[in-house]
Amino acid sequence: MAKPLVPTDARGARMFRVRLVEAAMPTGSRDPDILLAWLLDSMGLVRRKSDGFSVDDDQGALHRMMGLTFLAEPLRGWDAKSISDVSGLSQTGVHHQLVKLRESGLVSTQTDDRWHVYVLRGGSMSASMELISVQAKVILDQRLGALSEHVSESEERMVVPSEEEEYGFRIEVAEPRALIEDEDSLDALVRELGLNGERAKQGDGLSRKLLEELVGSGNAVSLLALSEKFGESRSRVQRSIERMRAAGIVERVPMLERLAQDIYAGLMRQSDARGEDWLMTRGGLGRVDQSVSKNLIAGVRKKSLDSDKVQEILKPVDIDVQRILLNTLGGRMPYGVRIAGKDGVAVREGVMRKAERTLRRMRTVAQRLDESLDDKEN
């Protein structure tokens, strides 16, 4: 039987591009389907709807194709028609999946004259993942090196410890591609790290503007301030910042310099609404040192307080106690965002640590998948 001609846009090597998505390990599982689903999800090749490790319907096409072809006979040399026949996918669907697999580095292609055949790189999932891991680390390190050149050095930026909660790491790793019209190197870097998001319209430069603002700032900046500066909705700014946080480039930090200002506003607001007795009881002033509470109450009574005076009065009070006071006054700790390091080198090292941890998990699961497949054969 004659092999199908290769589609024009499928010929030649594809540029490397993979998404690293940190996910909880499928601890203890030896089920090949679950392990494969986890790997495909961790490479951003499918979208997992639930927190479990079951195979969703949307995962079925690629999952089925991988299981019936490249895992069953890694080095057979599969052509598009054979994959279509075995998996039940149309040749158009097969081509779409092969593009993703080749870009991610899982599958490589071999050309014989005008025919294309595909193999699992290295002949096994663990070997393929080793190759992907090496490639991803080199490319990501190079791209972060380019980013680090834009980050201004600032010791002041990191004075306040970060309170970034455990945040699921997610970043795109892609070789530099040709620049799009009216795009510069920073635009391209933002795009290739996945900071624009999957549905960004061409010419939407919000993520680039936000990143440029943060890499040059020596202090944390609130989402409201960023929203107002760039004339964008807070929700749009937040979505873009969330992608940068997931990539480990930006982190959330309490804005302690605004704590006294917000406590002052809370004191005056609650005094007008509920009175001094409430401030001393449910308002939380009774829980701080008596001299501090007396000075604050006296200032409230005389209307002589301002944020600077509140800051001076609260100097002997522990920061955690000040936070509780703000909460009891009906306020919330103000947070901002900053670049996750005093300079470009620190940012680069932090992101690389997270990427290496994610890739290490992927190699472990790939090894377990190969072992489980061997056990099934035996």
What the block records as the tokens of 313 is: 């009065």
pLDDT tens, position by position, 165-213: 777 899 999 999 888 888 889 999 999 999 998 877 777 899 999 999 9
Whether the predicted pLDDT of 333 surpasses 80: yes
**pLDDT-based confidence at residue 115 (cuts at 50, 70, 90):** confident
**Cα dihedral 52/58/63/64 (nearest 10):** 130
Distance CA 371, CA 361 (A): 15
| DSSP-derived 3-state class of residue 221 | strand
User: Does the pLDDT at position 8 exceed 70?
Assistant: no
Task: Say which DSSP state 155 is in.
Answer: S
d(C-alpha 25, C-alpha 27), whole Å: 5
First-last CA distance in the chain: 33
Residue 182 pLDDT: 80
pTM equals 0.85
Q: Is the pLDDT of residue 9 over 50?
A: no
Higher model confidence: residue 82 or residue 53?
Answer: 82
Strands (E), 41-189: 107-112, 115-120, 170-174
Paired strand residues for 21: 170
**Residue-level pLDDT at 59:** 55
pLDDT recorded at residue 363: 97
CA Rg, the chain, in Å? 27
- 301 backbone φψ class: left, alpha, beta (φ>0; ψ -120 to 50): alpha
Look at residue 178 in the predicted model and tell me its pLDDT: 86
3-state secondary structure 32-79: HHHHHHHHHHHCCCCCCCCCCCCCCHHHHHHHHHHHHHHCCCCCCCEC
- Across the chain, mean pLDDT equals 89
Quote the distance between the C-alpha of residue 185 and its chain's center: 21
Classified as helix, coil or strand, 108 is strand
pLDDT of residue 257: 85
| Among 159-168, 243-252, 330-339, the least confident range | 159-168
